[in-house]
Structure 1
Amino acid sequence: MADAHTGLGTPEQLRDPNYTPPLFKAIPLGIQHVLAMFVSNVTPAIIVAGAAGFGFGSNSPDFPELLYLIQMSMLFAGLATLLQTITIGPIGAALPVVQGTSFAFLPIMIPIVAGKGVDGLAALFGGVLIGGLFHALLGTVIGKVRFALPPLVTGLVVMMIGLALVKVGIQYAAGGVPAISQPEYGSLLNWSAALVVVVVTLGLKFYARGMLAVSAVLLGIIAGYVYALLVGIISTDAIAASWSNAAAFALPQPFKYGFEFSIAAVIGFCLMAFVSAVETVGDVSGITKGGAGREATDHEIRGATYADGVGSAVAGIFGGLPNTSFSQNVGLIAMTGVMSRHVVTFGAIFLIVCGLIPKVGAVIRTVPIEVLGGGVIVMFGMVVAAGISMLSDVHWNRRNMVIFAISLSIGLGLQLDPMAVQYTHETVRILLTSGLLPAALIAIVLNLILPEELADESVEEVSGGLSGHMQGSIPKPDES
């Protein structure tokens, strides 16, 4: 924990969000926040581009569109973060909340754009805009709807987000999407690049300290990138071509891809806004507890939710993906002990500058898909683990087991076999085959309507004798 001897300030100052440490220390701390979230922030744009069918080579006609999506991810993550730290009226928490592109919406975005190229982006960004406005409205009622989203529901939803995306990580590590027709798909060379990333990431995460551990995924991808250069997966010529084909400076373009009102996109983004809002509430609470040792105020929670929604809505206008608060930065605040919102402001400015320079996106795009796959495997696996961790707070009685079982079975099943609902309307089919939305909706409804008296009944008949004993505790000798 930081203290006065670090030169950052007194313990009282470090717990004050309005305090600014000396610039020569505040700016590096802000960059540290960016490094902790950088890979996670740009990855959704690359995944959406891959799902849409964009070509990833520097000579591809879709290459400028891919660069633009990456550029907007950085730019609007920075702008949304500024909303949280600087605030505009009631918008923003006035806390060191770092915003970034949300993984949670990927299971909704992928089927909306699947195989449609640029044509699918109008409906996507229409959904981002309207969903963002709805998300902002949740700020007025977020305290009143949290009862409908206990750990049973939120843990299931977070776990489902990870489960919906782990396939993407495996495909990327094997050679890309759609790459099954390529002879090298699944080759040992492709997998070796992904495994270098995984091994380096794990090594740094568990055997390093400080910034090396915080930036483990980023450094793992850099190691994989160097390996890919050495073994010929990517060449210096390809890197040079990508750099030369990108502009040195570019401004965002409003409604670059048009605007389309898609019922499936709007419903999907609005429903997922509830999950994102609850995630932000948790992150804001984590920041105030870890950095200042207090609970978040209602004003801070409302402001953070407003900023979440407004940031996403504005991003949708210019071709950016929905934003949410980033949990890894919550841990960074607890680790450094620096609660200053102005430190995060410096990081936000750095992101904005990167977002205005397409050459930065061009460098990011030269990362081989196999290398990115190694990082994605780690990130999405951690999403699943985070959901399981949230579920550990659930008392696993018969009622909760039934809710979890039915929600998971239907949600994951529809995701694994989309043809099971092939005769439904296209809008309904997109929503159902995301897997995430049906699982979340079923869990919320069952949690609200099933009687609590089921909670005291035995779970043996539904678990085959494999039920836990009071949230996973070891049974006592006199228990059966």
Structure 2
Amino acid sequence: MTDNNLSSSLKKPSRTINQNPDAMPPLGKAIPLGIQHIMAMFAGNVTPPIIIAGVIGATTGEQIFLIQVALFVAGIATLIQTIGMGPIGARLPIVQGTSFGFLPVALPLAGTFGLASVLGASLIAGLLQVGLGAFLKKIRHWFSPVVTGIVVLLIGITLMPVGLNYAAGGVGADDFASPTNLGLALFVLVVTIVVHQFGRGFLKASSILVGLVSGYLVAIALGMVDFSSVGNAAWFAFPKPLQYGLEFHLTAIIGMTLIMFVVGLETIGNISAITIGGAGRQAKDRELSGGVMADGVATSFAAVFNTLPNTAYAQNVGLITLTGVVSRHVVTIGGILLICMGLFPKLGGLVAAMPHAVLGGAGVVMFGMIASAGMKIIQECELNQRAMLIIAVALSLGIGLPAVEQIAETMPGQFGLLLKSGLVPAALAALLLDAILPGKPKREPIEPQEAIAAKSEEAKSNL
């Protein structure tokens, strides 16, 4: 083979799926695989805008709009990760979606200042996250597993009452905590658990979606669904940017920025899980840095298009590990499908018509899984007296302050608002204690790719 032929053959995308993110499976396989990724993340992506819509008292039309933009932005953000723009983007099979991580801070901010303040703070936080990605190597040591794990655990704990309120029918509902609502939520919960435990492959990965669809169908049979919003929604509409405007409050910016740092660390964990679990190697610095910067760009872009910050979705990472399909082109197809879905408001109308109790049944699982993920991260560190002290102080603040709202109300100005969620003071306490307490374990340096490959070959030769 001549040099020219060799060069041209190397430029062609591989059509095998052999732990290679650049692999391109045939379209007959790639399209169903892309749809599978969208189904795995769909419920998690549309839940935060539905919750925030309830807090700001949004009309049905506004709720449809918020769902529409959440789908559209997730698609654009996914393409930024898979295709990339210069140094931005990991160029790995990463699905982006609306983040639950910001909800504990966003909900009280939206209730006090309005959605515009949350979006303004998100815009700033996203820009700062781009800087975080650019200087990732220098500041990564700030966020040990004990700090990141505590914050993720508290995110789940903070959202648990939200899930239960929805399971009861939604705060302010005339039939709040009625047997019908609680029974419907319980049905969704049971279906989700059964499918997750006894399902296989794609079915297991889509257990949340199966539970939601099953509950929705039961709600329709019980006459609990009003489809008038679907009829009033347009067939096609381009999402309008800056619909709610942008406002900038220092309190909101501080809260959203702090959580942004932690969510950025989650993205690092997800990228590492993709390369280790799917591609069989450690993540490259360029992939980590580009992935976090893409998170920031997506978050700022989401703010302009009226939706909450975006982040890499962990459920899709699990799907990659489960299927072994590491092709970024598959996820690119999924991103294109998300954009198309975001252009059709009637789809948002179908989701908006879902009774709160159905969403609450799934929320019990989703928010509990977030807390479980936090505990799993904490397990990565040695639970000695130092770590236990950090966990004790952070958990006391994170759980105790929201339970005793009188403390926040006595604080001057807007400072009390940061205490209401409990997450901000807990995260600050964990970061500070981890930095100043003696005995912080040192991170082991990541070995170069050549060393890993050499060790692998040596181990094979010794067998």
Match of 2:146 in 1: 152
- The answer to whether the 8 Å contact 1:142/1:277 transfers is no
Structure 1 residues 413-424: aligned runs within 5 Å: 413-424=400-411
Cα distance, 1:423 vs. partner? Answer: 2.4
Unpaired segments ≥5 residues, structure 2: 1-12, 442-463
Amino acid at match of 1:166: M
Counterpart CA distance in 1 for 2:379 and 2:284 is: 26
Please report how far the alpha carbon of residue 420 of structure 1 lies from its aligned counterpart in structure 2 after TM superposition.
1.3
- 1:83-133 per-residue CA deviation (whole Å, 9 max, x = no partner) reads 00111111101110110000000011100111x6xx712111111111111
Alignment partner for residue 222 of structure 1, among 213, 230, 233?
213
Given the alignment of the two structures, is residue 124 of structure 1 paired with residue 111 of structure 2, yes or no? no
Letter in 2 for 1:396: L
* Cα displacement (A) at 1:425: 3.2
- Of residues 356, 359, 362, the one that matches 2:349 is 362
Which residue does the alignment assign to 1:91?
A: 88
Aligned partner of 1:189 among 180, 185, 193: 180
Quickly say closer, same or farther: Cα 1:244–1:11, change in 2 above 3 A.
closer
Aligned with residue 412 of structure 1, among 385, 388, 399: 399
Out of 375, 399, 402, the position equivalent to 1:388 is: 375
Match of 1:16 in 2: 20
The CA deviation at 1:13 is 3.8
Counterparts of 1:457-472 in structure 2, within 5 Å, are none
2:292 pairs with 1:305: yes
Aligned residue type for 1:174: A
C-alpha deviation, 1:336, in angstroms: 1.1
Are the counterparts in 1 of residues 84 and 90 from structure 2 also a CA contact under 8 Å?
yes
Give the Cα–Cα distance (whole angstroms) in 2 for the partners of residues 164 and 141 of structure 1.
30
CA offsets per residue over residues 400-437 of structure 1, 9 Å max, x none? 11111111111211112222121223421221112111
Query: Aligned equivalents of 1:430 and 1:343: distance in 2?
Result: 43
The separation in 2 between residues aligned to 1:425 and 1:66, in whole angstroms, is 34
Cα 1:424/1:217, change in 2 over 3 Å? same
Aligned to 2:311, the other structure's residue is in SS state strand
Report whether the alignment pairs 1:29 with 2:33: yes
**Distance in 2, Cα, partners of 1:318 & 1:425:** 33
Q: Is the 8 A contact 2:163 2:364 kept in 1?
A: yes
Aligned equivalent of 2:64: 67
Seq. identity, %: 48
Give the alignment of 1:244-323 within 5 angstroms: 244-323=231-310
For the residues of structure 2 that align with 1:407 and 1:201, how far apart are their CA atoms?
A: 32
Alpha-carbon offset, residue 187 of structure 1: 1.4
Asked if 1:174 is matched to 2:168, the reply is: yes
Offset of residue 254 of structure 1: 2.3
**Whole-Å Cα distance in 2 between the matches of residues 332 and 231 of structure 1?**
34
> What code does the residue aligned with 1:288 have?
T
Give the match for residue 335 of structure 2: 348
Are 1:52 and 2:56 an aligned pair?
yes
The 8 Å contact of residues 96 and 310 in structure 2, kept in 1 or not, is answered as yes
Structure 1 spans left out of the alignment, 5+ residues:
1-8, 55-61, 455-480
Q: Matches of 1:88 and 1:393 in 2, distance apart?
A: 33
* Equivalent position amino acid for 1:427 in 2: Q
TM-score (ref. length: structure 2): 0.90
Give runs of ≥4 in structure 1 deviating > 4 Å. 9-12
Alignment size in residue pairs: 430
Distance (whole Å) between structure 2 residues aligned to residue 151 and residue 159 of structure 1: 12
Cα offsets for 1:202-241 (capped at 9, x unmatched): 111011111111111101011111111222322xxx21x1
Question: Contact (CA 8 Å) 1:51, 1:177: kept in 2 or not?
Answer: no
Q: Which amino acid aligns with 1:251?
A: F
Q: CA RMSD in A?
A: 1.8
Residues 1:447 and 2:434 are matched in the alignment:
yes
Question: Of 319, 324, 328, which residue of structure 1 is paired with 2:315?
Answer: 328
**TM-score, normalising length: structure 1:** 0.87
Question: 2:125 & 2:280 partners in 1: Cα distance?
Answer: 33
Deviations 1:263-284 (A, max 9, x none): 1111111111111111011100
Q: Any conservation in 2 of the 1:205–1:213 contact (CA below 8 Å)?
A: yes
Contact conserved, 2:14 with 2:22, CA < 8 A, in 1? no
